[in-house]
């Protein structure tokens, strides 16, 4: 397995995706989830846990396959309400996952500049991918975080963040005091590297950190939009329900996956 897996576990995906704009609501969000290379099989996969996470928050999911054209990604971008870059273990600069992430990231920035907010969520590898896309550099540090549960250390910016501001007090308290966030990564973005990097520091607000052998960043945030597919037919054809997750056993850290037989 590529050692560059999982920089941090991000919690409360549901909260960030359900943030409401007071005047207008979208009660039928559809979120894209990036696929990634499935070992060297020529196939790609999405871990079923990410689909379940989004579904449990009330969203539906459309898979974003690797090796599609830029036009296909752009069309999907204009149809979806956000994208999730999941965890896993592929190359941050040369994989199909990295290439798709880069297109969605660029389109999200452009939309954002035009006042059209497109949430991008990154967990683990996705978190690393975001720091790579923003800074253009690999700034990871090895940490002893491959199988540990930790409480979060909240930073002052967390209080008015979109991610945490509506989280109930008792949940915030549990997150701050009990070891209930899973860490399953060998590399992290250290607080030191983060603040020494102007691009990262200017782009993200640090909401929580964690301390193991060194202090690392554990959270960042996103918004909401009103994109949609051009027709119900297009929507139906694109949804994850067209695929079945399968039990894969111990081939990786994920035990159930959606597997796509060819890249395109």
User: Least distance to ligand NAG from the beta carbon of 30, Å?
Assistant: 31
Contact call for residue 4 and ligand NAG (CB under 6 A):
yes
Which of the ranges 143-151, 173-181, 184-192, 254-262 carries the binding residues for ligand NAG, by CB under 6 A?
143-151
Contact call for residue 213 and ligand NAG (CB under 6 A):
yes
DSSP string, 22-72: SS---SS-EEEEE-EEETTTTEEEEEHHHHHHHHHTT-EEEEE-SS--HHH
**What does residue 21 show for φ and ψ, rounded to 5 degrees?**
-90, 130
User: Least distance to ligand NAG from the beta carbon of 143, Å?
Assistant: 6
Rounded CA separation 64/67 (Å): 10
Residue 140 or 222 having the CB closest to ligand NAG: 140
User: Least distance to ligand NAG from the beta carbon of 165, Å?
Assistant: 33
Contact call for residue 39 and ligand NAG (CB under 6 A):
no
DSSP string, 88-156: ----TTTSHHHHHHHHHHHHHHHHHHTT----EEE-THHHHHHHHHHHSS---EEEEEEEEEE--EE-G
Instruction: Give SS3 for 21.
Output: coil
Contact call for residue 93 and ligand NAG (CB under 6 A):
yes
Identified binder of ligand NAG from the candidate list 40, 71, 94, 168, rule CB under 6 A: 94
Q: Which of residues 172-211 bind ligand NAG (CB under 6 A)?
A: none
User: Least distance to ligand NAG from the beta carbon of 230, Å?
Assistant: 36
Contact call for residue 91 and ligand NAG (CB under 6 A):
yes
Size of the site for ligand NAG (CB under 6 A): 9
Which of the ranges 44-52, 117-125, 139-147, 231-239 carries the binding residues for ligand NAG, by CB under 6 A?
139-147
Could you tell me which residues come within 8 angstroms of residue 18 by beta carbon, excluding any fewer than 6 positions away?
29, 57, 58
Rounded CA separation 185/193 (Å): 17
Q: Which of residues 145-164 bind ligand NAG (CB under 6 A)?
A: 147
Q: Report the interface residues with ligand NAG, using CB under 6 A.
A: 4, 91, 93-94, 142-144, 147, 213
């Amino acid at each position: 397995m590529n050692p560059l897996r999982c920089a941090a576990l991000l919690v409360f995906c549901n909260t960030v995706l359900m943030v409401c704009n007071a005047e207008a609501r979208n009660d039928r969000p559809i979120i894209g989830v990036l696929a990634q290379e499935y070992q060297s099989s020529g196939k790609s996969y999405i871990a079923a846990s990410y689909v379940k996470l989004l579904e449990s928050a009330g969203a539906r999911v459309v898979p974003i396959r690797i090796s599609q054209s830029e036009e296909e990604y752009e069309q999907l971008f204009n149809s979806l309400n956000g994208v999730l870059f999941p965890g896993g273990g592929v190359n941050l600069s040369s994989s199909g996952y990295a290439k798709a992430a880069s297109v969605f990231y660029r389109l999200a920035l452009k939309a954002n500049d035009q006042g059209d907010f497109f949430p991008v969520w990154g967990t683990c590898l996705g978190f690393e991918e975001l720091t790579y896309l923003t800074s253009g550099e690999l700034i990871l540090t090895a940490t002893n975080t491959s199988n540990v549960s930790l409480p979060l250390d909240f930073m002052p910016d967390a209080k008015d963040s979109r991610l945490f501001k509506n989280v109930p007090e008792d949940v915030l308290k549990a997150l701050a005091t009990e070891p209930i966030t899973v860490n399953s990564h060998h590399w992290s973005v250290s607080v030191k590297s983060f603040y020494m990097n102007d691009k990262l520091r200017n782009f993200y607000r640090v909401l929580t950190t964690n301390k193991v052998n060194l202090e690392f960043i554990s959270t960042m945030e996103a918004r909401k939009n009103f994109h949609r597919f051009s027709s119900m037919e297009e929507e139906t054809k694109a949804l994850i329900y067209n695929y079945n997750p399968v039990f894969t056993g111990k081939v990786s850290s994920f035990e159930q996956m959606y597997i796509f037989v060819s890249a395109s």
